[in-house]
């Protein structure tokens, strides 16, 4: 991905992936027979919202 495209995604982000939560969600998805909606909900729950201003203002990159 081109650097400017990456920065655009980062600045427009409304949530941030919490890797520890993602690892738990990923394990549940891998080991359980879940419906697509259940998988999506687990992945959404692995994220936390960021305040206005996107990901960059939250101490990222």
pLDDT, position 25: 97
The helices-and-strands tally (H runs, E runs) of the chain is 3, 2
* pLDDT per position as a tens digit, 11-26: 888 999 999 999 999 9
Is pLDDT at 56 greater than 80 in this prediction? no
User: Measuring CA to CA, which residue among 44, 60, 49 is closest to residue 7?
Assistant: 60
CA distance 34 to 29: 7
């Amino acid at each position: 991905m081109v650097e400017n495209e990456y920065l655009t995604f980062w600045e427009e982000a409304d949530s941030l992936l919490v890797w520890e939560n993602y690892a738990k969600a990923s394990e549940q998805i891998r080991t359980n027979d879940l419906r697509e909606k259940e998988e999506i909900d687990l992945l959404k729950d692995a994220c936390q919202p960021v305040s206005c201003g996107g990901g960059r203002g939250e101490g990222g990159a």
